[in-house]
Amino acid sequence: MSTNQPWTFRDDRGQEVAAPRPPRRLVAYTQAAAVLREYGVATTAVFGSPHDEHDPGETAPALADVPGVPYLGAGKALTAAALTRAEPELLVSVTYDGERVYGIDSALAAELPTTVPLLALGVGPGTSLTAVRDRFAELARALGAAPDTTADPGAASLARGLERLRAAARAKPRPRVLACSPAGPDRAHLARPQGWPLLRELAGAGVDLLDLPSAPGPSWATADWEELAALEPDIVLRDVRPSATSDAELAAVPGWRRIGDRATVLPWNPELPFTARAVGGFLDTVTDAVTRHAAP
């Protein structure tokens, strides 16, 4: 790839992102940076999810996939000055709705130099894990990564993990699985099976993911704890991001206590990096729980 030719890439907002030459200094959202690293593209610095801003110490799990890369902050703690000091030639993030850039809101984007292009790849409702990884591979190639590093290095291991999950899901009885994000003592957000690439993989493998079909929302359905307890889940994927309500705050909530008495509760990060390592670990955890449920 010539280093003197103008560079363009159409992102998943439908925008043609352009730079005077192929970008070399990338600043990316941690989730995006982790996948790009797996495909052979390094980042100069990273920023976090808005859900990280109230507890910076909790960013460590996300940063495990991009070791040694400076962290610039998240949410309101992420500033245009910090981003500019990193001298980015390209900012990379994701989009859940095909319009907004996750982690960099419109006000922050307006403060950035107009010479810094901003790119977002889709990870929202209806998007498969394969589609997400293919798009990141496409971006990596456009940024100059060698073809042998972008032929999905994790495809074989992920295929094995999914086959193991499919085998476990065929056993009887099949567990009822609920993915949720606690939002206080009075309510929680239920994650829709088709709203998240990893949950789509679980559903496609035969896992019985619970939903509230009559409730609105493409990614989340909001309900009270009694409604969720009435679904009688056997396994709960519980959001562990700093923004989710803590177990201590939920200890006195009757609905949550009934869920905990019945179900196996597993940690779940809705913003898990789409790397083979992270996804494989998630699939193994769910598979083990499904297998234990079916054991006599």
| pLDDT single digits (tens) 143-174 | 999 876 656 667 888 999 999 999 999 998 99
| pLDDT single digits (tens) 98-111 | 999 999 999 999 99
Mean pLDDT of 187-197: 96
Total-model pTM = 0.92
Mean pLDDT of 257-269: 96
Residue with tokens 């949410």: 75
Does residue 238 carry a pLDDT above 70? yes
What is the pLDDT at residue 294? 85
| φ and ψ of 95, to 5 deg | -135, 135
Lowest mean pLDDT among 150-159, 243-252, 253-262: 150-159
| φ and ψ of 122, to 5 deg | -75, 135
Does residue 66 carry a pLDDT above 90? no
What is the pLDDT at residue 295? 82
The total of other beta-carbon atoms located within 10 Å of residue 257's CB is 14
Residue with tokens 């996948």: 35
What is the pLDDT at residue 51? 84
| φ and ψ of 214, to 5 deg | -80, -10
Query: What are the percentages of helix, strand and coil residues in the chain, rounded to 5?
Result: 40, 20, 45
What is the pLDDT at residue 58? 47
What is the pLDDT at residue 53? 65
| pLDDT single digits (tens) 36-48 | 999 999 999 999 9
Does residue 193 carry a pLDDT above 90? yes
Selection from 237, 131, 160, 134 nearest residue 193 by Cα: 237
| φ and ψ of 241, to 5 deg | -65, 155
Q: Which residues contact 125 (CB under 8 A, 6 or more apart)?
A: 96, 192, 194, 195, 196, 218, 219
Does residue 59 carry a pLDDT above 70? no
Residue 167: alpha-carbon gap to chain centroid: 25
Lowest mean pLDDT among 249-253, 264-268, 291-295: 291-295
How sure is the predictor about 54, in pLDDT bands with cuts at 50, 70 and 90? low
Are the C-beta atoms of residues 223 and 190 closer than 8 Å to each other? yes
Q: Which residues contact 55 (CB under 8 A, 6 or more apart)?
A: 242
Mean pLDDT taken over the chain: 92
What is the pLDDT at residue 146? 80
Mean pLDDT of 68-73: 91
